[in-house]
Structure 1
Amino acid sequence: MDIAGIEKVKGFIITLNNYRKVYNNYYSVILKRVLKNDKIKVNIRNGPNTFLGNDEVAKFAAIFANLYPYIKIITIDNHKIIFEYKGKRITLVDWVYGGSEAFTDYNWLNVSGKDVLDVGANIGDSAIWFALNGAKKVIAIEPYPFPYEIMLKNIRANNLDNIILAINCGIGKENTKIKVTKEATFRGSNLKASKEGVEIPVYTLDYVIEKYGPFDILKMDCEGCEYEAILNSKNLEIFSQIQIEYHYGCENLKTKLENIGFNVKCSNSVKVYNPHADNPNMIVGYLYAYK
């Protein structure tokens, strides 16, 4: 078997395990997905019996499988989910555009009573998680209008307007403007100019810090903007903890932060091919910096 064949087998095993985690009737669900049924009856573990669309069946398994057994699904349809996870009740509108890493990968950050800057907030799931875990203030930055509008709905749905401020802007090496698409965007899309769409501002990280700060915590997942943002910033010392998902290696980021007094650790990286990025051949992992 060639490498491509091996990867397909690995992918099938992962998918099968995810379905087993989330669906009591996973054999029936898989069969109906293969048959391309538009409406599939699902018996959700720690949740209700209901019907989901073909794509939503796959998305639910992919997004929420790694939260089991700590998650309880209160209600779910193709557009909205309400669930309990580790003692927190969360509502997500248009949940298929989110990701479970918002509830698992940032628990290292001590956000309780802190001001958090969330760069790359997508539909607001990570910002909501920070707020529910005691953050005093969260500035949530998302450049693309489609997920940004969803984020606004999710902030309202969770009654967190008094804690989370969503800003529709990009982060770059200089303050400027860019026209971006209003259409649905894929998670993993870096900031790209569009001939049609709406104009949004692009700010330097220092401008955001000066305008909306001070901050204690920085979370950054912006599909490559981390290099221009971090390497050109002169105000990073205000943060006590920084977590960055790096996409093209961590060495330059690590050196910059160590030179200004941070202790820095980088996770093991993995090679990822992301067709939605300008440079699709990524080297991805997390950088953790603290004082």
Structure 2
Amino acid sequence: MYIVVFYLLVVNFLNSGFRLLKAVKDWYRIPLYHIGLTPKPIISLRHGPKLLYVPGLFSLEQFLDQPYRRLNVSGRVVLDVGAYIGDSALYFWSRGAKWVYAFEPYPYLYEIARENLKINMVNNITLFNQAVGSEDGFINVDTKYVPKAKSHARDFGSGIPIRVRAFDSLVNEMGLKDAVLKMDCEGCEYNALINASESTLKSFSEIILEYHYQGYAKLAHKLLDNGFALEFLDQTGSHIDVPLQKLGLIYCKKTTD
């Protein structure tokens, strides 16, 4: 019975999961886990770090599509807003970032991210169980809440208090200069960036952000007004001539001081 189930799972992966087979050295651990023969596995990527396999949250897009490949992070400090399971922070680490400050508000995702950093014995990524917005404050978050995917930080009305850091004061406190900013926080980019001061934005020479339901226009105007050249990308980080309306990436490079 186990052999049949294992065979069917392998066939399914071969048919629809070629990307997984291409990217993961020990891909066979995943079907073994799903039929109950192994504990939750640690997966080794062929061209990247190791990641804890968590069904529904395991993601390879950072290391296959490499949507942030335009960023020159080598030897530079990266501010990663929306760390998810730590995959983007580990991607920047693998590309030679000097230091990564990563922010993830949801405790469940934060714990997975922390485990992924531990697995890779990383010592130049600082992970915060905090949110980023336009103002300092707190939100209450249910520790048992498991996001189905990346989601914006919201107040549950009960749970544990999670600190919200004002983007301006956070950047000032860290003393960032010629840094790189990545934002994928499911909507927080609007309040944080649109209300950011000129001096805050001057701290970054490159920015990549994912825009969501409010579109790209306000973000684009803010960044253009502060001396950034913009390039619109799809979800894989590939150039597109016409920006997507509701979900896409903007790559920004500083052109003026």
Q: TM range, normalised to the smaller chain?
A: 0.7 to 0.9
1:166 to 112, 127, 130: 127
Name 1:198's counterpart in structure 2.
160
The one-letter amino acid paired with 1:73 is D
The alpha-carbon deviation at position 226 of structure 1 amounts to: 0.6
In structure 1, how many angstroms separate the alpha carbons of the residues matched to 2:120 and 2:8? 26
Compare relative contact order (CA 8 Å, sep 6+) and give the higher one, 1 or 2: 2
Matches of 1:144 and 1:107, distance apart in 2: 26
Task: Give me the TM-score of the superposition, normalised by structure 2.
Answer: 0.79
* Percent identity (aligned): 36
1:71 Cα deviation from its structure 2 partner? 4.5
Change in CA separation of 1:254 and 1:68 when aligned onto 2, cut-off 3 Å? farther
CA separation of 1:42 and 1:111: change in aligned 2, threshold 3 A: farther
The residue type equivalent to 1:171 in the other structure is V
Q: Residues 129 and 75 (structure 1 numbering): CA distance in 2 closer, same or farther, change over 3 Å?
A: farther
Query: Could you tell me how far 1:67 is from its partner in structure 2?
Result: 6.0
- Give the direction of change, closer, same or farther, for the CA distance of 1:75–1:257 in structure 2 (3 Å limit): same
Is the strand fraction higher in 1 or 2?
1
Counterpart position of 2:221: 255
State the match for 1:241 in structure 2: 206
Is 1:188 aligned to 2:150, yes or no?
yes
The answer to which of 205-214 and 228-237 deviates more is 205-214
In angstroms, what is the RMSD of aligned CA positions?
2.8
CA distance in 1 between partners of 2:51 and 2:130 (Å): 22
Unpaired runs of 5+ residues, structure 2, are 34-39, 236-244
Asked whether the 8 Å contact 1:98–1:122 carries over to 2, the reply is no
Gaps of 5+ in 1: 1-31, 33-38, 46-56, 270-281
Distance 1:81 1:113, change over 3 A: same
Query: Aligned match of 1:76 in 11, 15, 29?
Result: 29
TM normalised by structure 1 equals: 0.70
1:285 to 2:248 alignment: yes
Instruction: Give how far 1:42 is off.
Output: 6.4
Residues 162-208 of structure 1 deviation map (CA, whole Å, 9 limit, x = unaligned): 21100011111210111011122221321111133210111111122
State the AA in 1 paired with 2:210. Answer: E
